[in-house]
Structure 1
Amino acid sequence: MAIKHNQTIVKNHFRKDWQRRVRCHFDQPGKKASRRSARKAKAAAVAPRPIDKLRPVVRCPTVKYNRRVRAGRGFTLAELKAAGIPRLYAPTIGISVDARRQNLSEESLAANVERLKAYTARLILFPKKSNKPKKGDSSKEDLKAVESAVASTGAAFPIVHADKTIKTIKTSELPKPIEGGAYRKLR
């Protein structure tokens, strides 16, 4: 049985050049800096385009976390259909698709359809042939505006946590207790 994880080393009779068998992470701060610079370099390379794909707003599972919303894996086929985006066309314009996910509420469907529509309204599509633009491509004014745009390293459409569920209730607003208790009332 091999030794795993961060446990104490039992019966440690070290010889056999043990310094070679120890893994050290002295490069941790350096790697952090190089990852950050790589992210900036990627953002500069893809210039007006966003770094990541557009992700849906999903609610976390379980009672403990269901107040929170976060980025999901991909949009459902129902959301894409409601937004009027073909499912095979969506990944080509930077929209992630998850065919397995199902919409369990009208609110989540409406929120993500609105997100898709806002994304497509801001989307600028370059024509494959500049002299023959197709129906869905952007106008020449939009294409000229892109040249002056500056790329940011953040997400294209950040997810905003709008927590409107928790409200404070005064004791005067609480309902009056039932005479004799709730158990007696139920009997």
Structure 2
Amino acid sequence: MAIKHNQTLISNHFRKDWQRRVRTHFDQPGRKTRRRTARQAKAAALAPRPVDKLRPIVRCPTLKYNRRVRAGRGFTLTELKEAGISKSLAPTIGVSVDFRRQNLSEEGFAANVARLKAYKERLILLPPQVQRPQEG
């Protein structure tokens, strides 16, 4: 039997448990402190090592954002070669490498090479075996 005209809906209630379905963010300040302490614990556990890999400085694409600089995906092979780091050694000492990236400007290339050289000067490599330290 079809319903005609303006009758009330029978035996339908829309007062279900809505609190189970609503997502609240009252735990946001607690999560913020938890993330911060986790980052500090990770940095303390890695002690002398850096927490993240070394990444190049690149300019954002498009006309709107190209005055802004950010961290890129990885250094180019020519930047590594100019800094005196082999492409097989780079990932083992915490330097990210991007095989696809190209150098489009001399200023960016020089800045990234200087960044690599400064990192290489600060770098302290510990020998794999304490009994036989390597030269240099």
Provide the TM-score with structure 2 as the length reference. 0.84
Shift of 1:127: 0.2
Q: Which residue of 1 aligns with 2:3?
A: none
The equivalent residue for 1:19 is 19
Displacement of 1:92 in angstroms is: 0.7
Q: Distance in 2 between matches of 1:70 and 1:135?
A: 37
Superposition pairs of residues 53-132 of structure 1, within 5 angstroms: 53-132=53-132
Q: Which residue of 1 aligns with 2:10?
A: none
SS in 2 for 1:87: coil
**Which structure 1 segments of 5+ residues have no match?**
1-12, 137-187
Letter in 1 for 2:116: L
Distance in structure 2 (CA, Å) of the matches to 1:52 and 1:125: 17
CA displacement at 1:63 relative to structure 2? 2.1
Letter in 2 for 1:42: K
SS at match of 1:70: strand
Task: Give me the whole-angstrom Cα distance separating, in 2, the residues matched to 1:14 and 1:114.
Answer: 65
Q: Which string of whole-angstrom CA distances, capped at 9 and with x for unpartnered residues, describes residues 3-29 of structure 1?
A: xxxxxxxxxx73232221111111111
- What is the CA deviation profile of residues 96-149 of structure 1, one whole-angstrom value per residue up to 9, with x for unaligned ones? 11111111112211111111011011100000011211235xxxxxxxxxxxxx
Percent identity (aligned): 75
For 2:98, what is the secondary structure of its paired residue?
coil
Q: Distance in 1 between matches of 2:97 and 2:131?
A: 32
Query: For residues 39-74 of structure 1, what are the alpha-carbon distances to aligned partners after superposition, in whole Å with 9 as ceiling and x for unaligned?
Result: 111111111211111110111222222222211111
- Give the whole-Å Cα distance in 1 for the aligned partners of 2:14 and 2:111: 61
**Count of aligned residue pairs for this structure pair:** 124
**How far apart, in 2, do the equivalents of 1:27 and 1:17 lie?**
21
Q: How does 1:166-185 map to 2 (within 5 A)?
A: none
- Secondary structure of the 1:58 match is strand
Q: Are residues 1:33 and 2:33 paired?
A: yes
What one-letter code is carried by the residue in structure 1 that aligns with 2:20? R
Match of 1:49 in 2: 49
Unpaired stretches in structure 2, ≥5 consecutive residues: 1-12
CA distance in 1, matches of 2:37, 2:14: 40
Runs of 4+ more than 6 Å apart? none
Query: How far apart are the structure 2 equivalents of 1:44 and 1:31?
Result: 20
C-alpha distance in structure 2 between counterparts of 1:48 and 1:121, whole Å: 15
